[in-house]
Structure 1
Amino acid sequence: MQKLLSYIITPFFFIAFGLCLLIFHPIQWFGFKVFGYNGLKPVVSKLNFFLMRSTNILGTTYKFTNKYDLPTNRPLIIVTNHQSMYDIPPLIWYMRKHHPKFVSKKELGKGIPSVSFNLVHGGSVLIDRKDGKSAIMEIGKLGSYIEKHNRSAVIFPEGTRSRDGHPKPFKPMGLKMLLKKAPSALIVPISINNSWKLVRFGQFPMGLGSKVRLEVQQPIENKGNLDELITQIEASVVSGINSFK
């Protein structure tokens, strides 16, 4: 019954989602061309707020839990699991004061209103996942960028999305490069639950009534043996994942 209802509701969601991207694209362009990064950043934050609101059409709700006082005067490395593309708007919105930047596949760098413009001009990096060496170099550039500007990098070390909520093993190389290039960064593990349910049927129709939850785990200092540190980070992220149960 839910899937049948979703066939009716999903087109309205896609219209709202698409309109957000189309409306905010020229606003981003204007903000960036006239005011530079400081003109682009608040527009991107508002865009992602409205992208979240568009998913409310599907009955999606969001809850962000953070018991920690995260600093804004030092870089952050935000490490999280990846369940769907709908992980990204709440990460950008709820972590907006930390200026989150992403490691994204290069295909997203063109052709998508609003999204491509922000990825190219907003400080994120685009990688070719088929070229591991150049991908690691680009991630290193992101690490240097956040170290210099006291911003944050978001990385999904699983590499691909979990389509059923089960966490995948971390692929450590990209995260290790970030840790090396941003030695003063505070590591912020975040556990995401239930965003995979938005795409439980694939891209069409959308899942209804998903309760997306993001929980910040205990921040970790960037020090000590990197392999042991990454194991600790992975355990922290996984400890808060329960949406597959």
Structure 2
Amino acid sequence: MSKFFGYIFSPIFYIFFGLTLCIFHPIQWICFKFFGYKAHKVSVDVLNFFLTYCQIFLFNSISFKNDYNLPTDRPIIFAANHQSMYDIPSLIWYLRKHHAKFISKIELTRGIPSISINLRLGGGANINRKDNKQAISEIIKLGRRMQENNWSTVIFPEGTRAKDGQLKTFQFGGIATLLKAAPNALVVPVAIENSWKIVRFGMYPLTTGHALRWTVLKPIDPAGKTPNDITFEVETQIRKVLNQTIS
């Protein structure tokens, strides 16, 4: 039934999702051009509020749980599992006070309304996956911006989306590179559940009636720990929430 209703409601979802992206594209440009970073960030936050709650057109519920009083005067590395593109708007919206940035493929900085302009102007790292030197350089620059501004970065240590919801082994490179530039950053795991189900049949139909959940887990202070140890601890915490063991 979830797939059946997806045929009916996916077009409605895409219409509103696409309209939101198109409407906020010029709004972002105006905010940045005439009012600077702070105004641009507000426009991005509001954009992602609407993108997040477009899920109502698919009858999907949104739940974001955070039982921890996370600091705003210290950079944070949010390390999450990755299930679909719909993971990202909710992370931006609910982590907005932490100025969450992303490491993105440089190809995404062109041709996508709202998303491309935000990637170019928002302060994240846009990397060329075919140029390892450029990628590392951009991530280090992002780490320095985190350190200077007490921003946060969201990374997906799996390196790709888990399209079937099964967690892949986490890689420590991203955390290690960011910690070189922002050594006092707190590392915070985030478990994402059920967003893979939306796209289990691809772009169409999207499926309906899922409980989408984002859960902030116990923060990890990196002092005295190696990036490998930190990454393993992040993965272990997330696997526990997802009820998945290391294979």
Please classify the TM superposition score into its range, dividing by the shorter chain length.
over 0.9
Question: Is contact 1:165–1:243 with CA below 8 Å preserved after alignment?
Answer: no
The CA distance in 2 between the partners of 1:122 and 1:31, in whole Å, is 12
Q: Which residue of 1 aligns with 2:85?
A: 85
| AA in 2 matched with 1:156 | F
Alignment of 1:165-180 (within 5 A): 165-180=165-180
The CA distance in 2 between the partners of 1:74 and 1:194, in whole Å, is 30
Cα drift, residue 241 of structure 1: 2.1
Q: Which residue of 1 aligns with 2:152?
A: 152
Cα drift, residue 242 of structure 1: 4.2
Q: Which residue of 1 aligns with 2:143?
A: 143
Question: Is contact 1:193–1:243 with CA below 8 Å preserved after alignment?
Answer: no
Question: Is contact 2:103–2:154 with CA below 8 Å preserved after alignment?
Answer: yes
The CA distance in 2 between the partners of 1:218 and 1:3, in whole Å, is 35
Cα drift, residue 174 of structure 1: 1.7
| AA in 1 matched with 2:63 | K
Alignment of 1:203-242 (within 5 A): 203-224=203-224, 225-242=226-243
- Secondary structure class of the residue paired with 1:160: coil
Cα drift, residue 57 of structure 1: 0.2
| AA in 1 matched with 2:231 | I
Cα drift, residue 123 of structure 1: 0.6
The CA distance in 1 between the partners of 2:229 and 2:157, in whole Å, is 15
What is the number of residues matched between the two proteins?
244
The CA distance in 2 between the partners of 1:179 and 1:112, in whole Å, is 31
| AA in 2 matched with 1:163 | K
Question: Is contact 2:82–2:162 with CA below 8 Å preserved after alignment?
Answer: yes
- Secondary structure class of the residue paired with 2:242: coil
Q: Which residue of 2 aligns with 1:132?
A: 132
Deviations 1:47-74 (A, max 9, x none): 0010112121001111111110001111
Taking every aligned residue pair, what percent have the same amino acid on both sides?
A: 52
Q: Which residue of 1 aligns with 2:27?
A: 27
Cα drift, residue 243 of structure 1: 8.9
Question: Is contact 2:167–2:244 with CA below 8 Å preserved after alignment?
Answer: no
Alignment of 1:193-208 (within 5 A): 193-208=193-208
Structure 1 unpaired stretches of 5+: none
Cα drift, residue 2 of structure 1: 2.8
Change (3 A) 1:14 1:243: farther
Question: Is contact 2:175–2:227 with CA below 8 Å preserved after alignment?
Answer: no
Q: Which residue of 1 aligns with 2:108?
A: 108
Question: Is contact 2:139–2:178 with CA below 8 Å preserved after alignment?
Answer: yes
- Secondary structure class of the residue paired with 1:129: coil
- Secondary structure class of the residue paired with 1:72: coil
| AA in 1 matched with 2:133 | K
| AA in 2 matched with 1:168 | K
Cα drift, residue 134 of structure 1: 2.0
Cα drift, residue 234 of structure 1: 2.0
- Secondary structure class of the residue paired with 1:153: strand
| AA in 1 matched with 2:98 | H
Deviation larger for 134-143 or 55-64: 134-143
**Normalising by structure 1, what TM-score?**
0.96
Question: Is contact 1:80–1:154 with CA below 8 Å preserved after alignment?
Answer: yes
Deviation larger for 235-244 or 87-96: 235-244
- Secondary structure class of the residue paired with 2:214: strand
The CA distance in 2 between the partners of 1:199 and 1:65, in whole Å, is 23
Cα drift, residue 239 of structure 1: 2.1
The CA distance in 1 between the partners of 2:162 and 2:239, in whole Å, is 12
Deviations 1:99-119 (A, max 9, x none): 000001111111111101111
| AA in 2 matched with 1:20 | T
**Normalising by structure 2, what TM-score?**
0.95
Question: Is contact 2:172–2:227 with CA below 8 Å preserved after alignment?
Answer: no
